[in-house]
Structure 1
Amino acid sequence: MADIVTELSAPALASPSTIRSAEAGYADWRAWRLSSVAAPTGNLALIETRWLPEGDETTAEQALAGHPETVTATELSRRNLDTGAPERGIRLWDAASPAIRAFETIDAFPFDPSWIVEATFTPVSDERTIPFEHIRDNGLTRDLVVPGDITFSREGVDYTLSAFDDDGTLLLVFGDPTNGDDGPGGTYASGRFLFVTREGDRAVLDFNRAFVPPCGFSDQYNCPLPPRNNRFPVPVTAGEQRVVLRDGAAH
């Protein structure tokens, strides 16, 4: 993939109407995030992801045996990295998990309208895939569908980013120099996620809504990591930073 900085021409900062709309909905989005991660099947509730060996027909209901009533189970699937064959998995969620009980808040930067960017989305003709490393795959990659290029300009520099198709929505996985910084301006070490709003060839990236990925709440998630072209050379001082626990610890 190309580096993040390119010579492409792209729109600049968002229009005043886009900024007003984003600011008006920001407080509600923050409240929703704080409640959703602590929900009975929210990010903090995931206590186990179990991948079943070939031939194991264990159901979600059977997986609940021996667990308290606060635990629920769901099924999921993926492709085996070695064979390409489909794998079945089961996830267990505990509405009274230790992580939920310990959760305090998610630190975030103050709302900054300068980090709302209008971009151009250029689709590709075929279903292009790009390899993404994942946090639990020991350096191996999984190919994700990236249906086009997102180009935009900030402070005179043009960028090209790759967002993959997440059930019909563009999800940007990005990194920047704040990742892993222990100071007040630091963010989650492995990078952050951002859903991109798209209408035709126009896209809006509101980095105020960048969020800590699920793996920042439970080690039972296998999150994609930012590819090289999605790693910003400058700090992205907008959006969520880190998960904060009641004992004051952050991660």
Structure 2
Amino acid sequence: MKKLVLLFTLLLIISCNSQGKRALVGETEYQQVLNASYKDASKSPLKKKDLKNFKGLDFFPIDSTFIVTAKLTRTENAPTFEMATTTDRKPLYKEYGKLNFTLKGQDLELTIYQSQDDLRDEKYKDYLFLPFTDNTSGEDSYGGGRYMDVMITDISEENTFELNFNNTYNPYCAYNDKYSCPLTPRKNHLDVEIKAGIKVFEKH
């Protein structure tokens, strides 16, 4: 699946240079650029009928309590494994480490992964992949879980970094079943409602 940060940067440059055009839809810069990418027929994962009626993705209200500091514990000598997807495709990943953080008074843990394919691409080699499900999955949010990209370069010397659940996105499979998307591992289920970030997509 395409990484979003580079796309965001390009679209921000375009939007800043576009005078007199309608403002991008969304409460935050993240939402505005994500909406712009989905509205662009050359990049959008939406089916044609959904793109025709597209007015913007649905998000939970911005909530600063879903911005937390996570502590990373690196996984030493992690084996390469084939991650299950929605198709027969088996991309290669390694467990990069465990993230521990406190949210809504609960001590939680997620496993974060590194794509072995991305390591061969200079543009994406610093990306880490964080899929998760929570107690909104299958109702207010997509049943297959949501994703977050984390940059290795954002990790501090103390092995901490900010997790912003307001800045999550859905697998492309949430919009179009022609895509092959990694399945969220069961151990990455959070027993809490993450009412922040992207909501389930209502198809037409």
TM-score, normalised with respect to structure 2: 0.71
Please show how residues 93-104 of structure 1 align to structure 2 within 5 Å. 97-104=48-55
Q: Deviations over 1:207-226 (max 9, x none)?
A: 00111221112212111111
Please show how residues 53-132 of structure 1 align to structure 2 within 5 Å. 97-129=48-80, 132=83
Give the whole-Å Cα distance in 2 for the aligned partners of 1:230 and 1:131: 16
Partner of 2:14: none
- Displacement of 1:26 in angstroms is 6.2
RMSD of Structure 2 on Structure 1 (CA): 2.5
Partner of 1:237: 195
Give the whole-Å Cα distance in 2 for the aligned partners of 1:130 and 1:111: 35
Q: Deviations over 1:115-173 (max 9, x none)?
A: 00101112223344455321224xx9654122221111223432221122253212211
Report % sequence identity.
Answer: 27
- Displacement of 1:29 in angstroms is 1.0
* CA 99–156 in structure 1, closer or farther in 2 if over 3 Å, else same: closer
- 1:150 equivalent in alignment to 2:99: yes
Matching residue within 147, 161, 168 for 1:193: 147
Cα pair 1:105 1:244 within 8 Å, conserved: no
Partner of 1:6: none
Runs of 4+ in 1 over 4 A off after TM superposition: 140-143
Matching residue within 180, 183, 191 for 1:225: 183
Partner of 2:40: 39
- 1:163 equivalent in alignment to 2:163: no
Q: Deviations over 1:93-127 (max 9, x none)?
A: xxxx3342132321110000000010111222334
Give the whole-Å Cα distance in 2 for the aligned partners of 1:180 and 1:237: 13
**Structure 1: stretches of 5+ with no match in the other structure:** 1-24, 48-96
**Structure 2: stretches of 5+ with no match in the other structure:** 1-25, 116-123
- Displacement of 1:244 in angstroms is 4.0
Give the whole-Å Cα distance in 1 for the aligned partners of 2:50 and 2:43: 11
Cα pair 1:106 1:243 within 8 Å, conserved: yes
Give the whole-Å Cα distance in 2 for the aligned partners of 1:128 and 1:208: 31
Give the whole-Å Cα distance in 2 for the aligned partners of 1:230 and 1:218: 23
Give the whole-Å Cα distance in 1 for the aligned partners of 2:195 and 2:49: 30
TM-score, normalised with respect to structure 1: 0.59
Give the structure with the larger strand fraction.
1
Give the whole-Å Cα distance in 2 for the aligned partners of 1:111 and 1:36: 20
Count the aligned residue pairs: 166
Cα pair 2:70 2:101 within 8 Å, conserved: yes
